[in-house]
A and B are shown apart, each in its own frame.
Chain A
Amino acid sequence: MPSFVFGAITVDWDLAARSFWPILQGGLIYTLPLTLISFVFGFILALMMALFRLSKWAVLQWIARIYISIIRGTPLIVQLAIVFYGLPDLGIQLSPIPSAIIALSLNVGGYAAEVIRASILSVPRGQWEAGYTIGMSEAQVLRRVILPQAARVSVPPLSNTFISLVKDTSLASTVTVTELFRRAQEITATNYDFLLLYSEAALIYWIFCFFLSLGQSWMESRLDRYAAPRA
């Protein structure tokens, strides 16, 4: 077995090569889909909560406030544990992946709601009035005038949320989802080569995030074609 001594550290290239694919596979079949699905659900939830927060009805405002406060005030790992290990006590038994999707979506919903709310508020009041003066209803102004402009403002912060989510899916390992990090962990159980295997995991996360941030830049420049650069 070819080994390379680096000070006290020995790099086992053969193990690195053998373990790379299983770890990457954990990323491709669990980490990325989990990220994508949770983000979509979380985004829809966040949009709803942002609109609740902005609504005239106090009940809706409070529902959103309490939800956002709970999500932001508790660790994701605890939220995951409640869904996967806690809910069975109420007779709700969920498999690891649905549990992870539910907890991650709820989490994204709480954080993205504030981002979306802020971006809606960042659209000048004159835009609402321009919509009203041409006879639009509130819902029409929101859909046709405000949200498209809010979307541009919210791309950078929502991209951050998305990229954080890629990394946060590693916590799904605590509810037995064999995603990227747990794959690496499982291999260490037979090899004890922690530094190598976890570095490999880190490298793959970094590659994922790198490509996603390229996607973010592309999206921003696409949206910029429609509007002057913001001051």
Chain B
Amino acid sequence: MKRRKGTNENLMTKAGGELDDRFKLAGPARVLMNKVFPDHWSFLLGEIALFSFILLLLTGTFLALFFEPSMTHVTYEGSYVPLQGVGMSKAYESTLNISFEVRGGLIMRQMHHWASLLFMAAILVHMMRVFFTGAFRAPRETNWMIGILLFWLGFFNGFTGYSLPDDGLSGTGLRIAEGMTESVPFLGPWVSAALFGGAFPGDEVIARFYILHVFVLPLALLALITVHVGLVFAQKHTQWPGPGRTEHNVVGYRMFPNYVMKQVGFMLLVFGVVTAMSGLFQINPLWMFGPYEASVVSSGSQPDFYVMFMDGLIRLFPAWEFRVPPYFTLPAVFWPGIVGMGLSVLLPLLYPLLERRFTKDRGHHNLLQRPRDTPARTGLGVMVIVFWVIGVVSGGNDVFAQAFHISLNAMTWGGRIGIVVLPIVAYYLTYRFCLGLQQHDREVLAHGLETGILMRDPEGRFYEVHQPLVEPDERGHTELEYSGATVPKKMNRIGVLEPAQRGFFKSIEEPSDEDGRRDQIETGNKR
């Protein structure tokens, strides 16, 4: 045993030497392996997006082996009985074939779709974490902007993707996109004719969307994701304030083995969850929608969730059309569809610069902020979230109306009023809530934790016992300054009330010998 181990080590050294001779790796490899990463669960949200993107590339490549991006007319002869003999495009036929005729094709399709939904959801949540903690401040504005571009690239990659099968649902989405395109003054009809190769739907659009979906957009995503993650690496990750943490250091654990093992584990976890979901939960059963026909649509046809916001805005926007007959028309859909989308790209893109302008804060920041400490920004963020959620809900208002027996008109009017009023209410409430939380932090720092122990003094009054965080002065006050870090609010946060021994049925701990432990810290020797 011993000897074999020795030879292995020699082999490693030898291989390393050969590599270093050629690529001069010793220095960079050490720097990479030693790099220190800060730890917090919210730093994993971006990773979920990254891992689902990898999954999208893998499953997408499989699908591309079987999908035919062609609008050539064929008659379906496959094994799905209800559609036998129906005329459809090759694109739809080949998608049906992936679902029914290709071994394991269905689960691949469903994995691709679930991964895309997870991708977009993870981007959104990641974006919220970056926003609410102020991680986008200098020097990381560039990465925020790249992030916004990633969201919109993902949005269009998703839209082109679910347009490809040319089924009833995707054709309806395309038709709406075409109507929006047409609405642009002066350019609209030309852009639409260029996109569809003439009148809608024509027979070019699937092939055009295909190259966008499998080449242009993923390539742009891949390039930007590389830069995005590269910048996180080069600029070093932000960290939460805490003992020993400053603007000029990073406290955490090493890239190797700790960080990398956790990342690999987490990636496999994301893969596993998506795979299991794709086996168990149906997504986009497009054989039920039939081929796209310009005259057929069913109610309750919803786009994927990240597009629903646009759909909701279009539903809510009032019928305001500007017309100078017979020369000029500005369709109502232009406002929510084109202007609305433009602003949702532009405003978030510029947000770091706008905030800089208002706060006049030009410094670099590597410590994160707690949302409660920036009530205005937090309020603004919640405002946007409320606006977005009302948009999404309105995008499915017919479904809600039916499920809850509300009249559709009431849903629409509720949405119209709500989308104007509720964000403002949300801003105000959030602002107050943040101030309240700040107040509570200061109280704990001054008086200590609430222990939940009620006492009665000799006069019969009740009071709650407080546990000061440090030795109090004679008036029971503690002079602790708020540092931007979490303030403990519960007794078990400061080590009280922890189970004395670990193990469920019987103790699995052996009494540790403190001295041995000391030794190892000093020498770092593990064995």
Report if A and B associate in a common complex.
no
**Chain B residues near A (Cβ < 8 Å):** none
**Chain A residues near B (Cβ < 8 Å):** none
